[in-house]
Amino acid sequence: MAGKVTAVSVSGTHTMSKPNQDSIRLITGLGVEGDAHLGTTVKHRSRVARDPGQPNLRQVHLIHAELHDELRDSGFDVAAGRMGENITTCGLDLLGLPAGTLLHLGNTAVVEVTGLRNPCAQLNGIQPGLMAATLGRDEHGNLIRKAGVMGIVITGGDVRPGDPVHAELPREPHQPLKPV
């Protein structure tokens, strides 16, 4: 399974939107250089309040550009980086990947997918109703979270728009993604 990077974004503060960059640097075991979520322990403010020593399974946030297209078709004003992601991809079903998938980005970077991003009410600060639009239900009524995936940096490197993304699936049995 393969796709490509369409945008990269970073913010040194805890803001929802992250400005697009020409490139970002992933640092092994830490995350995105210069990003507020960089570190070995959790940086998400609500999670820090509960237990600041938790491992950081949310070092890198990836969203598929196809979600932006879907949301724009529904009247939302979204673009790469606006929903807090570090890497925007296209052509790869991020939500369909199993936990533990390795995403090879560009020449050297590797991110291990740890789980789903759980959409939060801060999305409504971008535009009312955006959080609900990133949630859905399957044919059995189960909740579907569409706001991207989270990962940890296994191998560092620079990532740029246009870089290829290749998914390396873990050994079976595959475990479905859960919110992290």
- Residue 154: is its pLDDT beyond 90? yes
CA neighbours within 13 Å on the CB side: how many for 117? Answer: 27
Q: What is the pLDDT of residues 6-52, one digit of tens each?
A: 999 999 998 889 999 999 999 999 999 999 999 999 887 777 788 88
CATH of the domain at 81: 2.40.33.20
The domain total for the chain is: 1
Q: Which domain holds residue 34?
A: 2-168
Beta strands 60-64 and 87-90 are parallel
Distance of CA 131 to the CA centre of its chain: 15
Whether residue 38 is contained in a domain is answered as yes
Task: In whole angstroms, give the CA distance from residue 133 to residue 155.
Answer: 33
The pTM is what? 0.96
Whether residue 11 is contained in a domain is answered as yes
